[in-house]
Amino acid sequence: MVPGSFLLFHRGGGLWGIDSGQVVRIGPGRSESAPGEAETEAGGGTLRVELAGGSAPAAGPVALAADRVEGVVAGLAVRPLSTALRTFWPEAGFGIALYSGRPVILLDPLHLPLPLVASGGPDA
Partner 1 sequence: MDAPKANETPAGERSGHLLVRVGEQICAVPVGAVRRVVRALTVHPLPGARAELAGLAEFAGEPLPVLDLGRLIGAPIGPHPLFPVTVVVWSRTADGREAIGLAADEALEVVDLSAASWLPTAGFLVGEALVGDQVVRVLDPDQLGAG
Residues that bind partner 1 (CB under 8 A): 11-15, 34-36, 79, 82-91, 96-98, 101-103, 105, 113-116
Provide the minimum distance between the beta carbon of 114 and partner 1 in the complex, in angstroms, as a whole number. 7
54 vs 119, which CB is nearer to partner 1? 119
Provide the minimum distance between the beta carbon of 124 and partner 1 in the complex, in angstroms, as a whole number. 25
54 vs 89, which CB is nearer to partner 1? 89
Provide the minimum distance between the beta carbon of 47 and partner 1 in the complex, in angstroms, as a whole number. 16
56 vs 98, which CB is nearer to partner 1? 98
55 vs 100, which CB is nearer to partner 1? 100
- Sheet of 5-11: strand order equals 68-74, 5-11, 14-19, 102-106, 95-99
Please count the other Cβ atoms lying within 10 Å of the Cβ belonging to residue 57: 8
Provide the minimum distance between the beta carbon of 116 and partner 1 in the complex, in angstroms, as a whole number. 7
The 3-class SS string of 44-111 reads CECEEEEECCCCCHHHCCCEEEECEEEEEEECCCCECCCHHHHHHCCCCCCEEEEECCEEEEECCCCC
